[in-house]
Structure formats: C-alpha cells, structure tokens
Amino acid sequence: MRTISTEASEVPAPPAKSQLTPADWIAAATHVLRDKSIDAVRVDVLAKVLNVTRGSFYWHFKDRNDLLERVLQRWRDTATEQIIQRFEKKPPEQRICEFLTLPFHGQTAQNAASIELAIRAWARRGALARQAVETIDSDRLAYIAQCFSELGFSPEEAKMRAFLVYGYMVNESLLRTQGSEQERYARRAFVERTVLAR
C-alpha cells in the first residue's frame, strides 16, 4: 500500500537563498496545495514564501508543470513507496494489520490525510493529478491484495478484501473525528477481524 507522509503544520523557515534545493520548492508547493488549493501553487507565491526571486525557481525547474510533476512524485514516494518498504519484511498478516493502523498515527496521519485530500481535490479538475491518483490507488490496492494472496486467499477474494482495507483506511482518515478513541479502536478491530476471517 502506498499511502501517506507528513509535513509540519507550518511552512518551515527557508534556508539561505544559496542553499535552496528542489526539495525546498517541492515542500513549499505541497504546503500551499494543502493549505489553499492547486490554483495557489504559483511560482510568484512560492518565491514569496521562500523569500527568493522568481528567477531562482528556474535553476531547479523547467516550468510550473515540472514542479507539479515532482510534487506528485514526492507524494507517491512518501505516501506509498516508503511505507511499503517499511513494512516489506513483515509477515503478510502483520502488514495488513499495520496498514489498518496508519490513519491513527497522530499528527503525521492528519497531515498526510490533508495532503492526500488536497491532491484528490486537484485530481477532480486536472489530468496530471488524476492520472497520479489513479496509478497510486491501483498500486496500493495491488499491494494489499498481494498480502492477502500470500495468506492463501484466491486472487478474486484477495482483491475484494484489499478494497475493504483500502476503503476503510481512506474513510477513517477523512472521518477521523467520528466517534471516541475507543469507538475508533473498536472499528479498526472489527475491520481487522472481518478481512482476515477465513
């Protein structure tokens, strides 16, 4: 599953102008996207956030579209690839249980969910983000299904159970204020029992 990394709530103080890297611009763009919208992710806005001239942007990026592609790539890397790598050596049942806990990882999970929600909102209007979201959803579902396959479920059964897990994770992230901590724990335990039942 590839789902989710987190940024701090506030845009960090930019480094000295001579030390700005592409990662600084990508982080600033992600913050603006999360806190405002894709329309606000403009070179002039980011230059102001980073306290540099617009011209310094072009040392690192061909154009705005180049930046946006790299924002999406960073999201994929942190919200999917790195999570999979972190879980990869664990047994498949433990991986599934770990995926179900991701929405409960405090501020990290909240920030990750906010970024993901902003990207999904962007995807409703833009082909670039829409393609990225569709690819990442597909990759995450395939990976979770692989975990169920490793437990001996048929390919069709593995896909259906993966969809339940992924749907639960997305919705628990979006509806994180629904219910008490005890109720949220009970929901997770119920989903875990349900999807792992033979």
Read off the DSSP letter of residue 57.
G
Cα separation, 69 vs 76, in Å, equals: 11
Cα separation, 113 vs 169, in Å, equals: 10
User: What integer pLDDT is reported at residue 13 of this predicted model?
Assistant: 52
Cα 8 to chain centroid distance, Å, stands at 14
Q: Where are the domains of the chain?
A: 90-196
Are 28 and 11 within 8 A, CB to CB?
yes
User: What integer pLDDT is reported at residue 1 of this predicted model?
Assistant: 45
Are 37 and 118 within 8 A, CB to CB?
yes
User: Could you list the pLDDT tens digit for every one of the 198 residues in the chain?
Assistant: 444 333 434 555 545 445 789 999 999 999 999 999 999 999 999 999 999 999 889 999 999 999 999 999 999 999 889 888 988 899 999 999 999 999 988 888 889 999 999 999 999 999 999 999 999 999 999 999 999 999 999 999 999 999 999 999 999 988 888 899 899 999 999 999 999 998
Cα separation, 195 vs 63, in Å, equals: 45
User: What integer pLDDT is reported at residue 176 of this predicted model?
Assistant: 80
Cα separation, 112 vs 104, in Å, equals: 11
- 93 burial level (CB within 10 Å; 0-12, 13-18, 19+): middle
Predicted TM-score of the model (pTM) = 0.84
